[in-house]
Amino acid sequence: MSTNASAENIQEQIVALLPRLRRFARNLVRSPHDADDMVQIAVERALLRLDQWHRDARLDSWLFKILRNAWIDEMRSRGRRARIFMPEEEGEHVGEASIDREVDRLSVESALARLPEDQRLAVSLVLVEGLAYKDAADVLEVPIGTLTSRLARGREALQAMLRLPEGDQS
């Protein structure tokens, strides 16, 4: 198997994953432009480290992990300057608008923004990105038990914020 051909193939797989990487980045970084910057940094890093990707691992999880680590580096170097990262108070005024069902989407997103980071990332990877528990745990580099407990607490908090109807009638 030609390594060049497979490298190109992986590049196209990464291109196909860009929309999801951009979506995940919005959970990390508030501004869409900065979120895209993070995606660009992550993608460039990924290409440099293609040899570290194990073929049996999921490419999306691997990229999510690089993106998350790039974000951690970026956050350290910026020292949370300029408030471009999700401020926790943001959801507090947006959340009140949730009586209006038209802004249902917004309220889910602002509720997510109010979660502590650990829980937000667990919820985002499992419920939004659809990763299996073990893959999400791998992205976050925590044991699976830690992942499930963050997920459970995050859901509990979201449930309280979103006040979803009890049970499911649909």
Partner 1 sequence: MKVSDEMLMAYADGEADDTTRTLIETAMRDDPEIARRVARHQALRRAVQGAFAGVLDEPVPQRLVAAARGAPAGNVVDLARAREGAGKRLRRWQPAAMAASLVLGLALGYLGWRGSNPLVTSNGELVAGAGLADALSTQLSSDRTPGRIATTGLSFRAKSGDYCRTFSLTGTHTNSGLACREGANWKIKVLAQLPETPSSASAFRPAASADSPAVRAAVEESIDGEPLDQAGEIAARRENWSAHTSR
CB of 26 to partner 1, least distance (A): 5
Segment near partner 1 (CB under 8 A); pick from 10-18, 54-62, 65-73, 85-93: 10-18
Among 59, 108, 118, 146, contact with partner 1 (rule: CB under 8 A):
108
Nearest CB to partner 1, comparing residues 57 and 152: 152
Among 39, 66, 67, 125, contact with partner 1 (rule: CB under 8 A):
39
Nearest CB to partner 1, comparing residues 40 and 69: 40
Site string (55-74) toward partner 1, x via CB under 8 A? --------------------
- Separation of CA 17 from chain center: 13
160 touching partner 1, by CB under 8 A: no
CA–CA gap between residue 55 and residue 96 (Å, rounded): 46
The site for partner 1, by CB under 8 A, has a size of 48
162 touching partner 1, by CB under 8 A: yes
In sequence order, what DSSP letters do the residues of 99-152 get, joined into one string?
GSGGGHHHHHHHHHHHS-HHHHHHHIIIIIS---HHHHHHHHTS-HHHHHHHHH
CA–CA gap between residue 93 and residue 26 (Å, rounded): 19
In sequence order, what DSSP letters do the residues of 77-107 get, joined into one string?
HHTTGGG-B--TTHHHHHGGGGGSGGGHHHH
**Residue labelled with tokens 């908090």:** 157
Among 82, 93, 99, 102, contact with partner 1 (rule: CB under 8 A):
82
CB of 85 to partner 1, least distance (A): 13
CB of 148 to partner 1, least distance (A): 6
Closest CA to 115 of 153, 166, 145, 69: 153
